[in-house]
Amino acid sequence: MSGGAVERLATCHCGQLQLRCTGEPAKISLCHCLDCQRRTGSLFSVAVFFARAEVTLAAGVAKMFRRSSASGFDVAFHFCPECGSSLWWEPDRLPGRIGVAVGAFADPDFPMPEQAVWSQDRHAWLTLPDGIAGHAQNPVKAGSDRQ
Ligand SMILES: [Zn+2]
Ligand SMILES: [Zn+2]
């Protein structure tokens, strides 16, 4: 990469916490699980996964909340202590990856997710566009960095 890599800035609600992501996303995934519903206050979360080396803290201070996930592996969530937005998370089962909240880029042109997981928890009225592969749970295997 010779200086031409795409760079995106994810910012919390109040603006003090900023994360710089370079390069193209490894994966974009929508999650309907009940934990994501409670975390976001919305009906699903959309995560973009970048390789760990492509993500750096650009500004601010984060707090961390660690919990187990619906698939049985811990996830550490990093959020703004001022406004509460969760900005990024580190799934134990994907140690080479960092998930970033797509909404934090405030970019309506951000690419569409390629998959939706935990569709067994999807609200009944919610339908997704064609082109997003649905999974009743989460198909990614522990330790796999492929998906
Ligand atoms: Zn904030
Ligand atoms: Zn989830």
Q: Give this prediction's pTM.
A: 0.89
The residue-averaged pLDDT of 94-99 equals 94
- Give ion ligand 2 contacts, CB < 5 A: 31, 33, 36
87 C-alpha to ligand 1 centroid (Å): 9
How many domains are there within the chain? 1
Instruction: Provide the residue range defining the domain that includes 127.
Output: 22-134
User: Among all ligands shown, which has an atom nearest to the Cα of 32?
Assistant: 2
31 C-alpha to ligand 1 centroid (Å): 23
Residue 106 belongs to domain with CATH number: 3.90.1590.10
**Residue 121 covered by a domain:** yes
Over residues 32-71, the pLDDT tens digits come to 999 999 999 999 999 999 999 999 999 999 999 999 887 7
**Residue 145 covered by a domain:** no
DSSP character string of the chain: --S---EEEEE-SSSS-EEEEES--SEEEEE--HHHHHHHSSS-EEEEEEEGGGEEEEES--EEEEEE-TTSSEEEEEE-TTT--EEEEEETT-TTEEEEEGGGG--TTSPPPSEEE-GGGS-TT--PPTT-EE-SS--PPTT----
